Amino acid sequence: MKLKVNNKKGTNTKETGEMYLYFGCRNSKLDEIYGHETGQAEDEGVISQVYTALSRQPNVPKMYVQDVMFENKHQIYEIISERHAHIYICGDVSMAADVAKTLELIIKTEGHVTYDEAREFVLNLKSDRRYHEDIFGVTLRTSEVTDKKRREAKRKSSIQSIKL
């Protein structure tokens, strides 16, 4: 596959691997602002496949990015584990956390490993600079996220004390 890269000196063409875009929005009529561009990139072979999750589309079952990812778990596991794919996550902080958890679940189920091994795999993706995040909404939803994290920490703490 060829990817055209524009720079100040002109246009270069570089070899890339396959690219899969998992895009989520509430309503395709209102939120899919780059639909034309992604469709064109797919038509031209720059993007191999675009998967769209719609969470508030009338007359369509609610789907989130992580749901669509899990539907394609075999493909995702294969490109990450065997073809050394990079992962780019862009969006809301809560969505990014849910996507990370889904990726861990995919690695656990498809790789037949423990949850701790799957978590370590994702940490290694980050340290190998193959897992990239551009997230927003931290300040807008700080209390919601903090409260959720506190509840999770309390739950984990109570589970660990029961095990002891």
- Phi and psi for 52 in degrees, rounded to 5? -120, 130
Kindly give the pairing relationship between strand 10-15 and strand 2-7: antiparallel
Query: Which residues, in sequence order, are CB contacts of 88 under 8 Å at separation 6+?
Result: 132, 133, 134
Of 93, 101, 38, give the one whose Cα is nearest residue 69: 101
pLDDT at 34 over 90: no
Model's pTM, two decimal places? 0.72
pLDDT, residue 8, reads 40
Residue range 110-122: mean pLDDT, rounded:
96
Q: Answer for the pair 57, 28: CB distance below 8 angstroms, yes or no.
A: yes
pLDDT in tens, 42-76: 999 888 899 999 999 999 999 999 999 999 999 99
Q: Is 5 a residue whose pLDDT tops 50?
A: no
Given a contact cutoff of 8 angstroms between Cβ atoms, the answer to whether 46 and 3 are in contact is yes
Say if residue 145's pLDDT is above 70: no
